Structures are given as C-alpha cells and as structure tokens.
Amino acid sequence: MTATLFTKFLILVIFLAVHLVAHVKGWYYTRPSIDTITHFLGGLALSAFVKDWATAIALIVGWEILEMLLVNKRWHAFRETPLNKARDILIGLLGFVIGVDLL
C-alpha cells in the first residue's frame, strides 16, 4: 500500500507545523520531550519521500552532525549530550522504519 502524494505532503506539513510551533513557543527549552516528537515526525516525513535506507541514515545522522557544527559560544541551541544525540538518531530512524512501508 502506497500513500498518495497528498498524504505524504500532509505528513511533511504536520512535522513542519509541530516544529514551527515548538520553536516559536520555545518548547525545545521548556519542554525537552518535544524534541523526541519532532525527530520521530521528521523520520516519518523523510520516509514519505526517501525509500533508500543508506540515504535516510546519512540524512538523519548528518542532521545531528550539522547541529553540532551550528553550536557556538553565544548560541545555546543544539547543545545536547551525546546520549541525547544518540536518542535523536534512534527516534528519527524509528519514524523512518515505521513510515517507509506505509508512506
């Protein structure tokens, strides 16, 4: 069963909306569990458009590496522990695994 293009874009829009609201409301700092939700939804949205496992893994891990490169002394965003980085990767991959055959 393959999802329609509308369904795929709907998943992407939901992911982007949750991320935007969390960012604007500052929930990434006050409600850290939102990070888990957005990583899962990101993996799910990725699975709607990318079916290749190697590409998905590269993108999910690459995002975490990009986050580390974006950290500087004045910008506190993306400062996470190695355990949090590993969890983000695993949760993103979980979203991808669940969605890859559904979407």
Q: Where are the domains of the chain?
A: 5-100
Residue type for position 89: I
List the pLDDT tens digit at each of the 103 positions of the chain: 567 999 999 999 999 999 999 999 999 888 888 999 999 999 999 999 999 999 999 999 999 888 887 776 566 655 678 898 999 999 999 999 999 988 8
Cβ atoms 46, 59 nearer than 8 A: yes
pLDDT at 11: 96
Class of residue 50 by CB neighbours under 10 A (exposed 0-12, middle 13-18, buried 19+) = middle
pLDDT of residue 1: 56
With b for 16 or more beta-carbon neighbours within 10 A and e for fewer, the 22-48 pattern comes to beeeebeeeeeebbbbbbbbbbbbbbb
